[in-house]
Structure 1
């Protein structure tokens, strides 16, 4: 459940907001499998948080022992129904795109199994932290499906990506950290506090600058070096004229905590 306007009627998610950080718990027992309701709610959540000023950073994690066991195979489209697969595929993409397009940085706190679509949901987050006994796996080849290659390639080296996808092997939290897929690996009890602490650090930065940095990461992934850097410089020039940047510089000079207004 949530008290945020527009999100009062959630059924498979819980949201807690404190200190500028929204912690989203996937809460569809037993394993947070993703069905139509799940995808509709996750898209709604990130669209609302995108425009919620009191939230400046987000943590996404699973309730219970699982992050997300992936797509609910009982909720597959009927191949005999024309148009069913395009509609289904569009909804699946939206459930991932909303995380990448959200203006607020998103930290995945992978507390347990992240399988298939659950793995992809972690990979579309801005920062990935894992519990040492958690794991990721892409099991599509085991059930005659395919998908996730592009998102896997964003985080894994070429050989590791192929090994991961073609063997459907489980990679533990410690392996993911060693392979530089995750930025931190923690005992399970320490994972969520660590993710929330990192989110609070982000929430304390200049909001417009954080949003500009996330936007630059998203766009620069597909830009040549020169064009990407030129884009970043234009963003810096625009930020220099904002009240928050002026406040950040003044607070630094005066050795005090800045007070940001989001403009």
Structure 2
């Protein structure tokens, strides 16, 4: 579901599953890791921009797909791959931008948290609604704490409610809010600026700022794997597929 187009010195990575609002199936995370590895060694690329096809950035993980994951060992393996993909974006040696419109929910919201710069248009809405299906936002807990004001991060995790683009800017999740439909143009402008800066200095600066950020990765993977085996997760998935409120 990830398409790549290189224009000049910028790689445009598009979450391209618009018929599912760019929901992320399990295979997406390996695809993302592979894409970042390839772009890291592509000398044409100085900046990477993420965006979403269709009506939104991404509604996050494909819940129905995740509900089919088997036992604890399979869940651990899945979480290791998923968190590894977000880490690959976070530790990518070149600048990254998330250009967001519409919904950025769950894994989609967390993808913005591991990008260096987030541009949102006026339609953008951000949320980590995992608690509604008995989970927690793994990348959000691992990395979001460094990007987002702690009280806002707790609000996102504990309520699962969405915040708008301006609230996200005040929370520290978004750098710039632009008019509806202007997010790609602003991302292109910023990419052009960053492409003129020293790539070595950018890489060193990114590595320094991210130092120690993923120390809790193993804990997060284990915690989420265990949550996926709990009754609350089973109820959350059942409620989601039956389009009803969960009874925790």
SS for the counterpart of 1:58 is strand
Do the aligned residues in 2 keep the contact of 1:141 with 1:165 (CA within 8 Å)? yes
SS for the counterpart of 1:219 is coil
Matches within 5 A, 1:28-107: 28-30=17-19, 31-76=21-66, 78=68, 80-107=70-97
Higher relative contact order (CA 8 A, sep 6+): 2
Structure 1 residue ranges without an equivalent (≥5) = 1-11, 223-263
Distance 1:131 1:22 in 2: 20
Q: Name the structure 2 match of 1:187.
A: 179
TM-score by length of 1: 0.75
User: Which residue of 135, 141, 152 corresponds with 1:149?
Assistant: 141
Distance 1:153 1:200 in 2: 29
Matches within 5 A, 1:210-221: 210-219=202-211
Q: Name the structure 2 match of 1:16.
A: 5
- 2:194 is equivalent to residue 198 of structure 1: no
The 1:199/1:79 distance shift into structure 2, 3 A limit, reads closer
Do the aligned residues in 2 keep the contact of 1:77 with 1:85 (CA within 8 Å)? no
Post-superposition CA distance 1:210-239 (Å, at most 9, x none): 2222222222769xxxxxxxxxxxxxxxxx
Post-superposition CA distance 1:99-124 (Å, at most 9, x none): 01211110111122111111111101
Q: Name the structure 2 match of 1:26.
A: 15
Distance 1:116 1:202 in 2: 28
TM-score by length of 2: 0.80
Structure 2 residue ranges without an equivalent (≥5) = 215-248
Q: Name the structure 2 match of 1:250.
A: none
SS for the counterpart of 1:128 is strand
The root-mean-square deviation of aligned C-alpha atoms, in Å, is 1.9
The 1:200/1:92 distance shift into structure 2, 3 A limit, reads same
Q: Name the structure 1 match of 2:103.
A: 113
Q: Name the structure 1 match of 2:200.
A: 208
C-alpha deviation, 1:179, in angstroms:
2.6
SS for the counterpart of 1:90 is helix
Q: Name the structure 2 match of 1:160.
A: 152
Post-superposition CA distance 1:160-204 (Å, at most 9, x none): 211221111111112112333211001132110100110111011
The 1:82/1:213 distance shift into structure 2, 3 A limit, reads closer
The 1:29/1:173 distance shift into structure 2, 3 A limit, reads same
Aligned length: 212
